[in-house]
Amino acid sequence: MATTSPATRPTAFLAGLLAAVTVGSGVGCGIAYRPYFDPGGSGASIDEYTYVSEPYAPQTITVVDTRTGEAVFAMDVPVGQQLVINFDDKRIQSEEWMSGVMRWRLMPAGHMYGRLTNRIAVPPPSSRRVDVTLRATPEFPPGGKPAAVATTSTEPSGGESVPVPPPPPPSGATTEGDMQDVGGG
């Protein structure tokens, strides 16, 4: 029966501990990104994107075949929802006409996990573009109402109230009046 010397036991223990931590953290498996749906992206080049529609930034997402100018996918993302898309271009014939696959799902805004249950054939990466268009604002969820409007009173007893106007859109937000047509038909 083989025995180990006391000097090698701590080394073997530390090596085992390091292996467990490496595999447990995902580093050994190549998983160094955040595996959840985040408007900021996954932090890795996995071709996955999350588009969230908000009252002052309602979005329309269009996937365009740049060879023909044809929209192969378009969706008006409802306010309060998010569209998650993931492109899979791992096929052997990666430059065939519609060789890519786009998986997608519409879900409530802020939903971090889930399976992308829909799929559609899309052009290869060299022949597609994702256009993000902002719709007119403000836009509220279906059946939704604007947030409660704060009121001010001119009398301490709460006499007649005067409505306070809603806050302006976030700075840097593009409104429909700011958008320009840059061509394309």
Q: Compute the distance between CA of residue 114 and CA of residue 86 in angstroms, rounded to an integer.
A: 12
Closest Cα partner for 56 from 176, 173, 144?
173
Q: In what order do the strands lie in the sheet with 118-122?
A: 48-52, 81-88, 100-108, 118-122
- Other C-beta atoms lying within 10 Å of the C-beta of residue 127: 17
Q: How far apart are the first and last CA of the chain?
A: 81
For residues 27-45, give the mean pLDDT: 55
For residues 6-17, give the mean pLDDT: 60
- Other C-beta atoms lying within 10 Å of the C-beta of residue 152: 8
174 vs 37 pLDDT, higher one: 37
Give the DSSP H/E element, type plus range, for residue 21: helix 8-25
3-state helix, strand, coil split of the chain in percent (to 5) is: 15, 30, 55
pLDDT (tens digit per residue) in 141-154:
877 765 544 444 44
pLDDT (tens digit per residue) in 160-184:
545 556 666 666 555 555 544 444 4
Q: State how far the alpha carbon of 114 is from the alpha carbons of 63, 88, 99, in Å.
A: 22, 17, 25
| Domain coordinates in residue numbering, the chain | 34-136
For residues 4-33, give the mean pLDDT: 52
Q: Reduced to 3 states, what is the DSSP secondary structure of residue 25? A: helix
The pLDDT value recorded for residue 144 is 72
pLDDT (tens digit per residue) in 57-113:
999 999 999 999 999 999 999 999 999 999 988 765 656 677 889 999 999 999 888
The pLDDT value recorded for residue 35 is 54
Closest Cα partner for 128 from 63, 76, 180?
63
What DSSP state is assigned to residue 117? -
Q: pTM here?
A: 0.58
Answer for the pair 169, 137: CB distance below 8 angstroms, yes or no.
Answer: yes
The pLDDT value recorded for residue 74 is 98
The pLDDT value recorded for residue 40 is 63
User: Is the pLDDT assigned to residue 31 strictly greater than 60?
Assistant: no
pLDDT (tens digit per residue) in 119-140:
999 998 889 999 999 999 999 8
User: Is the pLDDT assigned to residue 32 strictly greater than 50?
Assistant: no
Answer for the pair 86, 130: CB distance below 8 angstroms, yes or no.
Answer: no
